[in-house]
Structure 1
Amino acid sequence: MTSIEVLSTGLVYRNPHPNIRSLHAFFPSVIESQPGDVVVTFDRGSAMENRDVRSFITRSRDGGETWTEPKIICEPVDPEGTVSTSVRMSRTNEGELLGLFTLFHRNSPEDGLANPETDGFVRTEFALSRSEDGGESWSPIEPISLPMEWSAFETCSPILSIDSNRFLLPTATWKNWEGESTPGMKAIHFLSEDGGRIWSGPVEVMDDWSNGVAHWEQKQTVLSDGRFLAVSWAYDFQNKMSLKNRFAFSKDRGESFDPFHESPLHGETCTPLCLEDGRVVMVYRRTDEKGLWAHLCEFKGDHWNPFENVPLWGTEKASYSSDSKNTFEHLAALKFGYPQIVRLSDGDLFVVFWCVEDCVSNIRWIRFRLNRGGK
């Protein structure tokens, strides 16, 4: 018997009136604020790259059967109407919620997030908001000042709270709007020792830009032996294809990373979660087969020991809509992605992700559990 048992699925959010107005939802985050209280944030707008995209929060107290009406978390100061937002939410060990915001600054109201002529990205700015009441209210967003002279960063992960004061902010450097890539397109992170007020770094997590390979959608988890595990989507720009996921370890609490390794997963966005027994469960968008999959493994030294892969959703759906002219059009054609996972207080695992169903992008959830009969 497989150790991964899929229990149920449902919708966190779907546009209730798609025949009247265009509203699409993307990029969810999930935490359990207290036992039975599941909180999800996501971005919503008339289109993925429209400047009207804002960040919302909703919650369920009945296992995902019903969800509260989404509430906007913050409205940026934007007199020219050229800024959109995206949020990634996490929870500290003390119970405080952290909302890592990205503000996307357009040069023109008609610009998307990327320059189709250069594959460059708009200017980005990180900001932080906090909630001490489980997401019912949020502090005003505070700009994050990063110690790096660059303007184009990826929004790929929530802040990782290591302890009460030590925070880790994973990201990646992108080409800027003009197509310049001075630092290369690599996975990095920044560190804070004072609860997110002052940041140091960057720390290089994975870099293969000299070979034309970018590292995107970095996610990290802390293993049972204290090492940090980073998993990344590797994209070959020259051949316009995704490679196998790559992974790397830090033995010094994120101060540095060992050279990366190639994983057995043919995937793109991949989110790992270390379990209490030391095994690691990952949810990822698979590329050698269709769909969203769960993967169970363990790490012995630097060796990735896989146990099983189980499809969760979308095995009959294509990942992309059609051939695209450039890299960002290719990414914009994704039909689903950005899975996030949390272990609930009852032991079940709860996944959220965005997916296009009947021409509308929804936020969907899946609940599954690991049976003790497995590895």
Structure 2
Amino acid sequence: MRITGRGLVFDATAVEGPFRVCSFDSLLQREDGTLLVSFRRGTAKDSADGNGVICESTDDGESWSVISEGFVTEFEGVPGEVRSVELAELDDGRLLAVLLWVDRSEGDGTLRDVESDAMAPMHLLQEYSADGGRTWGDRRLLKREVVLSGPVVRLPGRGWLVTSEFSHGQTETAGRFHGAYAHFSEDGERFEATVDVVDEDPDTFFYDQRQRCCPRTGRPVAMFWTYDVHAEADIEMHMAWGAAGSLDWETPRSMGMAGQIAMPIPLQDGRLLAFYVHRHEPGSLRLVASEDEGLSWDSENELVVYSSSGLGEQGISDETTYDEFWEAMGTWSFGHPTAAVLSDGSLLLVYYAGADETCLSVHWARVEI
């Protein structure tokens, strides 16, 4: 594997004014080859003014233009922010946008209250576009009180899968626990009852699931940033293969590698790649391959796609508490790896990064595999 090109989807350093923090990016490859990248843009990673921006490329990622500056941020009369946007193309050519909306009626960017261990109200909304993502409307509520987690997955011959998660705070009668979920729709319009991707677990949190469908077998595969609640520390990344027909997944198993968010990239030739966040030193984004569906990984030959120039990320030491871990997330200066397989078989990788958390751009890299 080797990098054959690099560039910027959106250059935050060229922005005049305070809206210089881009994060939570995602990538959609349309049937005609058009690429769309959505990302959050705000004055900080955790601020009340975040909104989703969409950029388009019609030349395999060589050049990009902004086609949508944002969505309506008020919902049910309550001020909020659009924290992340995941896109999908429906059978009739329309685009579906699934939005993570966060209640910002308190006027600040707090996500989690330390005293109560409660999250700000968050809901999944859906909107549609008939002009390639330039304008949006027909807003609907998809699911209340969950967090959007990873790209919308097209299950061939079945429909679309939206994935989510939620951290349930500690109360006087129960400890905190975390769930990873999926919401299925046959037509991209009506989403059915929620199913568990991972059973709710008070001991291990399976964060930030990313799912992709294998082009060879049709099976979805999920990867998880995994956290040990009692140790208050990240553990090895986990993964699970699923069944598209029954919408159930294996019990997640360790990938044998330290990391956080990981994007699975199943290939037609049977290989499985993972584009993942290597948050511990040296901070980087890496691409690694497996020849046996993730039972083992060729870590010796993994490709470093991005290396952080900072002094080191906060919140990754063994002494970090759960509260400090949450606070540190707002300072991280790179992340959210995503990918598309281009028509020539190469990969387009997209992620956010910057010198520090006050100015973050959206980057791309092309990799020959």
TM-score tier, shorter chain, comes to: 0.7 to 0.9
Which of 267, 277, 287 is residue 294 of structure 1 equivalent to?
A: 287
Listed one character per residue, the Cα deviations across residues 133-192 of structure 1 (whole Å, up to 9, x for unaligned) are 432333332211x4xxxx532221122121365221211121259899788302221222
- Greater shift, 232-241 or 171-180, is seen at 171-180
Deviation (angstroms), 1:26: 1.0
Report what 1:29 is aligned to. 26
Structure 2 residue 354 is matched with structure 1 residue 361: no
Report what 1:232 is aligned to. 224
Contact 2:67–2:133, Cα closer than 8 Å, also in 1: no
Structure 1 pair 139–208 and aligned structure 2 pair: CA distance change class (3 A)? closer
Structure 2 residue 144 is matched with structure 1 residue 172: no
Structure 2 residue 213 is matched with structure 1 residue 222: yes
Length-normalised TM-score, structure 1: 0.85
Contact 1:281–1:295, Cα closer than 8 Å, also in 2: yes
Q: Number of paired residues?
A: 359
Structure 2 residue 330 is matched with structure 1 residue 337: no
Report what 1:51 is aligned to. 48
Structure 1 pair 81–191 and aligned structure 2 pair: CA distance change class (3 A)? closer
Identity %: 21
Deviation (angstroms), 1:104: 0.4
Instruction: List gaps (5 residues or longer) in structure 2.
Output: none
Listed one character per residue, the Cα deviations across residues 36-72 of structure 1 (whole Å, up to 9, x for unaligned) are 6322111111112222111111112344443223522
User: Partners of 2:308 and 2:234 in 1: how far apart?
Assistant: 19
Amino acid at match of 1:8: G
Deviation (angstroms), 1:369: 1.3
User: Partners of 2:106 and 2:308 in 1: how far apart?
Assistant: 39
Contact 1:106–1:113, Cα closer than 8 Å, also in 2: no
Structure 1 pair 60–174 and aligned structure 2 pair: CA distance change class (3 A)? same
Which of 68, 71, 77 is residue 71 of structure 1 equivalent to?
A: 68
Structure 1 pair 165–255 and aligned structure 2 pair: CA distance change class (3 A)? closer
Contact 1:98–1:159, Cα closer than 8 Å, also in 2: no
Listed one character per residue, the Cα deviations across residues 214-260 of structure 1 (whole Å, up to 9, x for unaligned) are 11110112233333211111012332211111111223535222222
Report what 1:373 is aligned to. none
Structure 1 pair 80–192 and aligned structure 2 pair: CA distance change class (3 A)? closer
- Greater shift, 177-186 or 56-65, is seen at 177-186
Contact 2:39–2:85, Cα closer than 8 Å, also in 1: yes
Q: What is the DSSP-based 3-state SS (H/G/I as helix, E as strand, rest coil) of the residue aligned with 1:10?
A: strand
Structure 1 pair 78–178 and aligned structure 2 pair: CA distance change class (3 A)? farther
Report what 1:246 is aligned to. 238
Query: Superposition RMSD on alpha carbons, in Å?
Result: 2.9
Q: What is the DSSP-based 3-state SS (H/G/I as helix, E as strand, rest coil) of the residue aligned with 1:52?
A: coil
Deviation (angstroms), 1:327: 2.8
Structure 1 pair 17–312 and aligned structure 2 pair: CA distance change class (3 A)? closer
Structure 2 residue 128 is matched with structure 1 residue 130: yes
Deviation (angstroms), 1:309: 1.2
Q: What is the DSSP-based 3-state SS (H/G/I as helix, E as strand, rest coil) of the residue aligned with 1:66?
A: coil
User: Partners of 1:236 and 1:185 in 2: how far apart?
Assistant: 11
Contact 2:178–2:202, Cα closer than 8 Å, also in 1: no
Structure 1 pair 311–273 and aligned structure 2 pair: CA distance change class (3 A)? same
Q: What is the DSSP-based 3-state SS (H/G/I as helix, E as strand, rest coil) of the residue aligned with 2:148?
A: coil
Structure 1 pair 163–133 and aligned structure 2 pair: CA distance change class (3 A)? farther
- Greater shift, 305-314 or 61-70, is seen at 61-70
Structure 2 residue 272 is matched with structure 1 residue 280: yes
Report what 2:57 is aligned to. 60
Report what 1:255 is aligned to. 247
Listed one character per residue, the Cα deviations across residues 283-304 of structure 1 (whole Å, up to 9, x for unaligned) are 100145420000111335x734
Q: How does 1:2-151 map to 2 (within 5 A)?
A: 4-15=1-12, 17=14, 20-33=17-30, 37-69=34-66, 71-78=68-75, 82-85=79-82, 86-92=84-90, 95-144=93-142, 146=143
- Greater shift, 178-187 or 61-70, is seen at 178-187
Contact 1:123–1:176, Cα closer than 8 Å, also in 2: no
Structure 1 pair 178–61 and aligned structure 2 pair: CA distance change class (3 A)? farther
Contact 1:236–1:242, Cα closer than 8 Å, also in 2: yes
User: Partners of 2:126 and 2:172 in 1: how far apart?
Assistant: 28
Structure 1 pair 171–318 and aligned structure 2 pair: CA distance change class (3 A)? farther
Amino acid at match of 1:60: S
Structure 1 pair 190–198 and aligned structure 2 pair: CA distance change class (3 A)? closer
User: Partners of 2:336 and 2:173 in 1: how far apart?
Assistant: 27
Listed one character per residue, the Cα deviations across residues 186-209 of structure 1 (whole Å, up to 9, x for unaligned) are 2221222343313212x2222472
User: Partners of 1:278 and 1:179 in 2: how far apart?
Assistant: 49
Q: What is the DSSP-based 3-state SS (H/G/I as helix, E as strand, rest coil) of the residue aligned with 1:330?
A: helix
Structure 1 pair 126–178 and aligned structure 2 pair: CA distance change class (3 A)? farther
Listed one character per residue, the Cα deviations across residues 102-137 of structure 1 (whole Å, up to 9, x for unaligned) are 110135113522213244311111111233443233
Contact 1:173–1:185, Cα closer than 8 Å, also in 2: yes
User: Partners of 2:98 and 2:106 in 1: how far apart?
Assistant: 25
Q: What is the DSSP-based 3-state SS (H/G/I as helix, E as strand, rest coil) of the residue aligned with 2:217?
A: coil
Report what 1:264 is aligned to. 256
User: Partners of 1:342 and 1:208 in 2: how far apart?
Assistant: 30
Amino acid at match of 1:296: A
Contact 2:224–2:261, Cα closer than 8 Å, also in 1: yes
Contact 1:91–1:98, Cα closer than 8 Å, also in 2: yes
Deviation (angstroms), 1:318: 5.1
Length-normalised TM-score, structure 2: 0.86
User: Partners of 1:274 and 1:173 in 2: how far apart?
Assistant: 26
Contact 1:318–1:335, Cα closer than 8 Å, also in 2: no
